[in-house]
Amino acid sequence: MPIRLGVNVDHVATLRNQRGERYPDPADAAFVAERAGASQITIHLREDRRHIRDRDLAILRQTVTTRLNLEMAATQEMLKVVFEHKPDSATLVPERREELTTEGGLDVAMHRENLKRYIRQLREAEVWVSLFIEPDLDQVRAAHKVEANAIELHTGKYCNAAMRADRAEELARVVDAAKAARRLGLAVYAGHGLGYHNLRPIAAIDEIEELNIGHAIIARAVVDGLDRAVRDMVACMAEARESRASG
């Protein structure tokens, strides 16, 4: 199965907002990313609007030609946003105002009843719902019980592991969680901390259908250009999947 790339363009907005300018525009970045092979554009509309803003979402909803994935907290404010703009998919993530980036997965098991009601409303709006979770079997089972369509496995611990043995252990957790999710009928995605140097073992996991990557691509684009950055990431993922199939 081919593996898809979702490009997160949040940090294009971060750069714009740093100077209070109107550029660079996330919509321009999304256009280049799609042209270069991205299968999806991902954005995170945070409560404090630190990067992506409501205007960005409105424009991207009109201009993205692949799929628009909205990362969001499970709040009533975000529910209204979804009903207004109708993204193709919504990925529910934990959110703390003081964090630099999303620091971990959503605790679905702890908030199961509230999430089940929230997800039901999203699905009634015909929005595909994914939950950003740790590669933990209890969380996978909880995601299935709250009737999510998909999970996105948090790969941060795998990416940050300094020792080879620790990284192997974290990779095994991702593999086990992906296999369990597929058996339960969930679509399986992954993301967080992935870059050109570490994604191959993740991209080679057959059950994972999609990777969402932002920082590594935007950082590469600063030097080499966004078109090349996206094309290189797509090629890297495809090579990982092909080598898995031939092995």
Q: What is the pLDDT of residues 7-27, one digit of tens each?
A: 999 999 999 999 999 999 999
Q: What is the pLDDT of residue 246?
A: 72
Q: What is the pLDDT of residue 104?
A: 80
**Catalytic residue chosen out of the listed positions 11, 34, 44, 144:** 44
Q: Which domain holds residue 49?
A: 4-246
Domain harbouring 119, CATH code: 3.20.20.70
pLDDT tens string 100-127: 555 689 999 999 999 999 999 999 999 9
Q: How far is CA 131 from CA 72, 79, 156, 184, 243, in A?
A: 10, 15, 15, 14, 29
Is 192 a known active-site residue? yes
Is 197 a known active-site residue? no
Q: What is the pLDDT of residue 98?
A: 52
Q: What percent of the chain has pLDDT over 90?
A: 91
Q: Is 52 exposed, middle or buried (0-12, 13-18, 19+ CB in 10 A)?
A: buried
Distance (Å, whole) CA 75 – CA 215? 25
Give the count of domains, the chain: 1
Q: How confident is the model at residue 71 (pLDDT cuts 50, 70, 90)?
A: very high
**Catalytic residue chosen out of the listed positions 71, 95, 170, 207:** 71
pLDDT tens string 173-211: 999 999 999 999 999 999 999 999 999 999 999 999 999
Q: What is the pLDDT of residue 244?
A: 77
Q: How confident is the model at residue 150 (pLDDT cuts 50, 70, 90)?
A: very high
**Smallest Cα–Cα separation from 203: which of 164, 159, 242, 149?**
242
Q: Which two tokens stand for residue 144?
A: 């299935």
Q: What is the pLDDT of residue 103?
A: 66
Is 103 a known active-site residue? no
Whether the per-residue pLDDT at 87 is higher than 90: the answer is yes
Q: What is the pLDDT of residue 247?
A: 65
Lookup result for tokens 């630099």: 100
Could you give the angle at the alpha carbon of 237 between the alpha carbons of 34 and 43, nearest 5°?
Answer: 45
pLDDT tens string 75-84: 999 999 999 9
**Catalytic residue chosen out of the listed positions 170, 192, 209, 210:** 192
